[in-house]
Amino acid sequence: MPSFSACAAQPLPSAASRRSQIYKEMLQCRQLTLDLFEGIDHDTLTRQAHADFSPIGWHLGHIAYTESLWLLEHCAGQPCQFPQYRRLFAADGLPKAERVKLPSLEEIQAYLARIREAVFRYLEVAPLEQEERLWRFLLQHESQHAETIAIVLELLRIQDSSLFPFSSLPPPPSSFLSPPPSPLPDMVFIPAGDFTCGSASMDALDNERPAHVVYLDSYWIDRYPVTCGQYRLFMEAGGYQQACWWSAAGWEWLQSAQVSQPLYWKGDPEWDDHPVCGVSWYEADAYARFAGKRLPTELEWEKAARWHPEPTPAEPALREEVGSGSERCNHSHQIGQTTPVTHYPAGKSPAGCYDMLGNVWEWTSSWFAGYEGFEPYPYRGYSQVYFDHQHRVLRGGSWATRPWALRASFRNWYHPQVRQILAGFRCAAGDEGGAE
């Protein structure tokens, strides 16, 4: 990948080149979405796996609806081609529990195809100087909903072993079971100093902007996400039975949830070097206390992922290349499950942290809020409505995250009690930081 200085010396791509790139990426993204529905029956298409999530068929229709709304109606000024779907597939149309009465998969796919044909016709004349950010937003919008589809399918697999038996998943390949070439320290030291967080790129969502310089005191952060083997020690030590490891809110949640292991727990020791997955923020926080550590703030996490210990002429670049690429991290359904935390040494951050992108999302201690200078885009409710001190930030992406939503500045957010997502965590230590 070329350095920032090399990229800066190149002329900006022409409008024709940018149109071609958007066209290519939208085709790639759509094919990945359609692949998720291979062999899906109508019951799976329309079943609500959890109260927090809509059926996978709704997400598929919503992708088409959103492209039509923003590109064809708002930008091109065209009338709605499928007004009968407006209430069904709009985000604010029906409660999630009422989104189960859906057209057939063939009908929804035909809807996607018709909208996409019109979208590509508009792309030929669209004023990208004004609209390119919106086109890239919609690529990420589809990527995010496709990951939600993957989450719902995982939940259905748990609920119906006859439909999606865990035994049908391949065991970890033998190559995954090899130890790292040499023992590595458990934690990485990040010295005090400034770093640039956030993003000013065309792809950046509103909550990633603006890019800004932040000073952080020194701290330590885990080289790897917490593994199933490490988390097993917490379970075997009675971690789910002892209030001393839990915050007051976490213990109250645990008494209500009545759980004693992560949601996606497989139990077999051959998975012990994989990251633990399917834990709530409260579980992650309890483990960190048990380990004598804490969860990192989201800024500590981002600095460990992006900051370079030896400044170079390329330092102003967004270091999205860290962990990107099929040989550098587990993402975009390449494997279809987690991989060992040591499996991608080529993707470690400049500071020496593994798996900062892909594999599992990672809880941080931070509440989701806007950066100073935040401006909503493309509408106020996309991020700003969640600046409510009720959502914790996750970073890094999962094995189901697509390249368009995989970067160190990307911010995900969920309520702390949610454990249905593909989320794990790593710990930090040091006098500063802690829950925000």
pTM of the model: 0.90
Q: Give percent of the chain above pLDDT 90.
A: 83
Q: What are phi and psi of 194, to 5 degrees?
A: -85, 155
Would the pLDDT of 239 be above 70? yes
The pLDDT of residue 193 is 95
Distances in Å between the Cα of 129 and the Cα atoms of 84, 200, 248 are 33, 16, 51
The pLDDT of residue 164 is 40
What would the pLDDT profile of 173-220 be if each residue is shown by its tens digit?
A: 544 444 443 344 599 999 999 999 999 999 999 999 999 999 999 999
What would the pLDDT profile of 350-408 be if each residue is shown by its tens digit?
A: 999 999 999 999 999 999 999 999 999 999 999 999 999 999 999 999 999 999 999 99
Average pLDDT over residues 132-138: 98
Q: How many CB atoms lie within 10 A of CB 372?
A: 7
Would the pLDDT of 261 be above 60? yes
Q: Which residues pair with 394 in a beta bridge?
A: 363, 412
**Whose CA is closest to 56, among 41, 71, 78?**
41
The pLDDT of residue 178 is 42
What would the pLDDT profile of 303-327 be if each residue is shown by its tens digit?
A: 999 998 876 544 333 334 333 456 8
Sign of the Cα pseudo-torsion (12, 9, 140, 339, in order): positive
The pLDDT of residue 160 is 82
8 Å CB contact between 109 and 115:
no
Would the pLDDT of 162 be above 90? no
8 Å CB contact between 46 and 92:
no
The pLDDT of residue 15 is 83
Q: Which residues contact 209 (CB under 8 A, 6 or more apart)?
A: 198, 199, 200, 371, 373, 374, 375
The pLDDT of residue 218 is 95
What kind and span of H or E run contains 195? strand 193-197
**pLDDT, averaged across the chain:** 89
Average pLDDT over residues 13-34: 95
> Which two tokens mark 216?
């952080």
Residue 127: exposed, middle, or buried by beta-carbon count in 10 A (0-12, 13-18, 19+)?
A: exposed
Three-state SS annotation for 299-365: HHHHHHHHCCCCCCCCCCCCCCCCCCCCCCCCCCCCCCCCCCCCCCHHHCCCCCCCCCCCCCEEEEE
The pLDDT of residue 431 is 67
Angstrom distance (rounded) from CA 205 to CA 376: 9
Residue 14: exposed, middle, or buried by beta-carbon count in 10 A (0-12, 13-18, 19+)?
A: exposed
Would the pLDDT of 264 be above 80? yes
